[in-house]
Amino acid sequence: MSKSIYLGVNVDHVATVRQARGVNYPCPVHAALQAEIAGADGITMHLREDRRHIQDRDVERYAPLAQTKLNFEMAATDEMQKIALSLMPADVCLVPEKREELTTEGGLNVAAQQTRLKDYVAVFNDAGVQTSMFIDPDAEQIDACVAIGAPVIELHTGAYAESKERRAQDAELKKINDAAHYANSLGLVVNAGHGLTRYNVAAIAAIAPMNELNIGHSLIADALFMGIEAAVKDIKQRMIEARSQ
């Protein structure tokens, strides 16, 4: 089993601060390039249907500048597929999207829309763009991802991150651990993300099949006080230490 674990930095919240005032700063592309210098292995930008944070011009500017890779997070719509195919990111991550939610709330229900998603993913497979499905840690969803030909999954760690009690958190961690091993045994690449912080990341990073963790909100919050380079280095170091134990 590989000892490597990769950090994807989500810069959406830099754009959230900018959009709150409708000005041209702070710039998520600048944040992405600084995060790469600090050791990020990839950058996530989520272009939402309502454009509440990342704007089209942000992804258009970052994509050709990327030194690592762009993980383009999106809803599985025709509009977004067209944009993704014009950007040709290394990865796309398909997520459910509701206008009224504060952030991505649950995993994508792949099992319930296999026929549509199979065709959708096939377009990316043919174009050489790797598709990751953001799903809850659930065997039925994993089986559905295999059935539709998706090569990568991202396990939703929100329930783990939000658990207030130790026992509940351990139960959520077990679900993620079991799901990661099951998906890996079926040949899927396994990533995870949502709600991860410098304080709760170690247990997820320690799960052997875990390939990449995508972290945004807490990292950008830490960057307010530490600077983005220190925040990236700190969480990546915690991930690497957890993996090497």
CB of 118 to ligand PXP, least distance (A): 20
53 in catalytic set = no
Interface region with ligand PXP, contact rule CB under 6 A, candidates 14-22, 27-35, 49-57, 193-201 = 193-201
Q: In the set 54, 63, 74, 215, which binds ligand PXP (CB under 6 A)?
A: 215
CB of 46 to ligand PXP, least distance (A): 5
Regarding 196 and contact with ligand PXP (CB under 6 A), the answer is yes
Please give the angle made by the CA atoms of 18, 72 and 47, to the nearest 5 degrees: 40
CB of 94 to ligand PXP, least distance (A): 9
Helix axes 217-226, 12-21, angle to 10 degrees: 70
194 in catalytic set = yes
Regarding 42 and contact with ligand PXP (CB under 6 A), the answer is no
Q: Which of 13, 36, 46, 154 does the annotation list as catalytic?
A: 46
Show the beta-strand stretches assigned E in the chain: 6-10, 42-46, 70-74, 91-94, 130-135, 152-156, 189-193, 210-215
How many Å separate Cα 16 from the centre of its chain? 17
CB 31 within 8 A of CB 227: no
Nearer to ligand PXP, 104 or 177 (CB): 104
* 243: its two tokens: 């993996």
Q: What pairs with residue 73 in β-bridges?
A: 46, 93
Q: Which residue has the tokens 């763009």?
A: 129
Q: Identify residue 55 by its one-letter amino acid code.
A: Q
Supply φ then ψ for residue 116, to 5 degrees. Answer: -65, -45
Regarding 46 and contact with ligand PXP (CB under 6 A), the answer is yes
Q: In the set 35, 95, 183, 223, which binds ligand PXP (CB under 6 A)?
A: 95
Regarding 194 and contact with ligand PXP (CB under 6 A), the answer is yes
Q: In the set 36, 41, 73, 138, which binds ligand PXP (CB under 6 A)?
A: 73
Interface region with ligand PXP, contact rule CB under 6 A, candidates 75-83, 121-129, 163-171, 190-198 = 190-198
Burial-class residue 244 by CB neighbours within 10 Å (0-12, 13-18, 19+): exposed
Q: Hey, which residues are catalytic here?
A: 46, 73, 194
Binding site for ligand PXP (CB under 6 A): 10, 12, 46, 73, 93, 95, 103-104, 134, 154, 193-196, 214-218
